[in-house]
Structures are given as C-alpha cells and as structure tokens.
Amino acid sequence: MKYTEDHEWLRVEGDLIVVGITEHAASQLGDVVFVELPEPETMVAQGDEVVVIESVKAASDILAPVDGEVVEINADLTDSPALVNEDPTGAAWFFKLKVDDLSVLDQFMDEDEYNDLIS
C-alpha cells in the first residue's frame, strides 16, 4: 500500500488503484453516517473532490490522488457508511481508478513513512 498526506491509502489491484482512507483518518472523523460516491466512468484529475464523507463530527472530502477514470465504486458504503469505521483498510474502499501508468504511485509514502507522519 501507498499513503497520501491526506490520509488515503492506495492499493494496486491488477491494473487499477483502489482508494480508501486510513484507520487514522476514520478515527479522526468519528462515526460516519453518510458517504457520497462518484459515478463510474467519471474522469478525475489529481486533487479533484471525488467522495464526500459526513460523520457525527464533520464533513470531509476525499480527493483524487492521481489523474484517472473511476471505473468502480463501493456501493456497499451507500447503505452501510459505518463500514468506514469498522474496516477502513478493507471492506470500506471507496473507488477504483484506472490510470495510464501505475508508476504514479512512486510519489506516495510507504507504510513506515506514513506512520512517521501520523506519530
């Protein structure tokens, strides 16, 4: 996995990048009550708002970590937003991106670097 400074995790799955938020981010949000996901086939640019998360504490945006096309969303989060708190690095992924070149992940932190950031 790779990590962003915005507390997103990125995992390669075949030729796609799966995007979610870290346990640290989920705990900071508190109980998630609503998740708004993008439409599949949406083209996004790095830094675009892609997902809106609402919790009992605040609303937060998930930004596109890289340029690409949203090819799949996790519809389970629409009905069960609490999954974000229950399994943020597993069942609660948000979307999958198709990118031109997976080497774009080289710019992001590995787990040790991310742990240094949040400590």
Nearest alpha carbon to residue 50 among 71, 23, 22 = 71
Burial of 4 (0-12, 13-18, 19+ CB in 10 A): buried
CATH topology assigned to domain 2-101: OB fold (Dihydrolipoamide Acetyltransferase, E2P) (2.40.50)
Domain boundaries defined on the chain? 2-101
The span from the CA of 24 to the CA of 71, in Å, is: 26
| Confidence at residue 58, expressed as pLDDT on a 0 to 100 scale | 86
Can you tell me which residue has the tokens 């995992």? 11
Bridge partners for 91 per DSSP? none
Measure the CA–CA gap between 28 and 7, rounded to whole angstroms: 10
User: pTM here?
Assistant: 0.93
Q: pLDDT 10s digit of each residue in the chain, 119 long?
A: 999 999 999 999 999 999 999 999 999 999 999 999 999 999 999 999 999 999 998 899 999 999 999 999 999 999 999 999 999 999 999 999 999 999 999 999 999 999 999 99
